[in-house]
Amino acid sequence: MANDPVTRLLGEAGRRKVEESIRAAETRTSGEIVVMVVESSARYRHQAMVGALLSSMALSVASAHFLGGDGMWAFLSLFVPLFVAFHELLVRMPSLRRLLARKAEMEEAVGRASLAAFYEKGITGTEGRTGVLIYISLFERMVRVVADRGINDKVDEGAWTGVVEGIVRGIRGADAAGALSAAVEQCGRLLESHFPIQSGDRNELSDRIRS
């Protein structure tokens, strides 16, 4: 589907490429790698409301003064339709709404959502607690790597910084599929050094990209 965030970011060929990278990486490690791409990690309704309120109020005051209107009714006759129009515009255009969201708010939202997804998708239920989630949130233009307890006991948290930076660079350079495939391979190498493939190991989680 065209509105699917995975398809919009990677395309069908890119999706297949990344999923093949996941399968290849997991032939060398008992760890499980999951990739997830979401449209947004929060609704940011407050930003749309505040943006519409401030924009419509400023334009209503200026218009009422220019048109010679006087009193509250003149102001409200302009403010109400403008507020509705601006709010609808901000809701429908994420790029405008994003300008009103503070970076700290977006970081917090992505952190919460990635951790929630880690549990909701069952990544924490793998044998040996060796699941890792690569989480990409398009609206915020942010990437998070969430690793389970078994991995965190052996892999330093800073090891994932290069993985995140590589994906961000690839998305900005219009090569999201290539960058994500490389990131999966990098995760596979990190996991392989601590969790090599074992006899009888099974694929516990689907290799398909989640959304």
Domain CATH code at residue 145: 3.10.310.50
pLDDT at 68 over 70: no
Element (H, E) at 80: helix 72-92
% of the chain residues with pLDDT over 70: 95
User: In the chain, how many domains are there?
Assistant: 2
Q: Are the C-beta atoms of 22 and 187 separated by less than 8 Å?
A: no
- Mean pLDDT value across residues 64-85: 75
What is residue 34's predicted lDDT score, i.e. its pLDDT? 98
Contact 194, 151 (CB under 8 A): yes
Structure tokens at 113: 């959502």
> Which pLDDT tens digit goes with each residue over 159-182?
999 999 999 999 999 999 999 999
Residues 33 and 110 in one domain: yes
Show the domain range for 73. Answer: 45-100
The terminus-to-terminus CA distance of the chain in angstroms comes to 12
Q: Is the pLDDT of residue 58 over 90?
A: no
Do residue 87 and residue 184 come from a single domain? no
The top-scoring range by mean pLDDT among 63-72, 112-121, 194-203 is 112-121
**Cα 37 from Cα 209, distance rounded (Å):** 7
**Mean pLDDT value of segment 12-24:** 97
32 and 120 part of one domain:
yes
* pTM > 0.95: yes or no: no
Residue 60, in any domain of the structure: yes
Residues 160 and 69 in one domain: no
Categorize the per-residue pLDDT at 2 as very low, low, confident or very high, splitting at 50, 70 and 90: low
Is 175 a member of any domain? yes
Where are the alpha helices (H) located in 93-152, listed in sequence order? 94-100, 103-120, 149-152
Query: pLDDT > 90: what percent of the chain?
Result: 64
